[in-house]
Amino acid sequence: GESVGLHLPTLSVQEGDNSIINCAYSNSASDYFIWYKQESGKGPQFIIDIRSNMDKRQGQRVTVLLNKTVKHLSLQIAATQPGDSAVYFCAEKKAAGNKLTFGGGTRVLVKP
């Protein structure tokens, strides 16, 4: 079936290093993608989004890359900090519709 999924359930990274979180999607009809960060006991918090007519978008310390050829989405976090420790979810939206479908999540653990 159509789904959004993640390659790595847990990512350990040294403080100061860059993090890369990957996400595969299978629905070619999706036109919008978004990354959320979820800290323990909290709701998902918006990080960055990208439309399907783009392949890269940068924010503050974060970059999202979209490869439509292989249906792959990634989130890069530069100079990872302890406050970046959380679970990261990718989500997609189909062109016809307004709901987000979430992937399974990747836990990022930042080691001091």
Interacting residues with other proteins (CB under 8 A): 32, 34, 36, 41-46, 49, 89, 91, 93, 97-105
Kindly tell me which of 50 and 110 has the beta carbon lying closer to other proteins: 50
Question: CB of 5: closest distance to other proteins in angstroms?
Answer: 9
Give residue 108's Cα distance to chain centre: 11
Question: CB of 66: closest distance to other proteins in angstroms?
Answer: 15
Kindly tell me which of 27 and 101 has the beta carbon lying closer to other proteins: 101
Question: CB of 35: closest distance to other proteins in angstroms?
Answer: 11
Please count the CA atoms within 13 angstroms of the CA of 55 that sit on its side-chain side.
Answer: 5
DSSP letters spanning 40-95 = TTS--EEEEEEETT-SEEE-SSEEEEEETTTTEEEEEESS--GGG-EEEEEEEEES
| H or E segment and range at residue 20 | strand 19-25
Kindly tell me which of 11 and 93 has the beta carbon lying closer to other proteins: 93
Kindly tell me which of 13 and 91 has the beta carbon lying closer to other proteins: 91
- Residue keyed to tokens 């940068």: 58
Question: CB of 99: closest distance to other proteins in angstroms?
Answer: 5
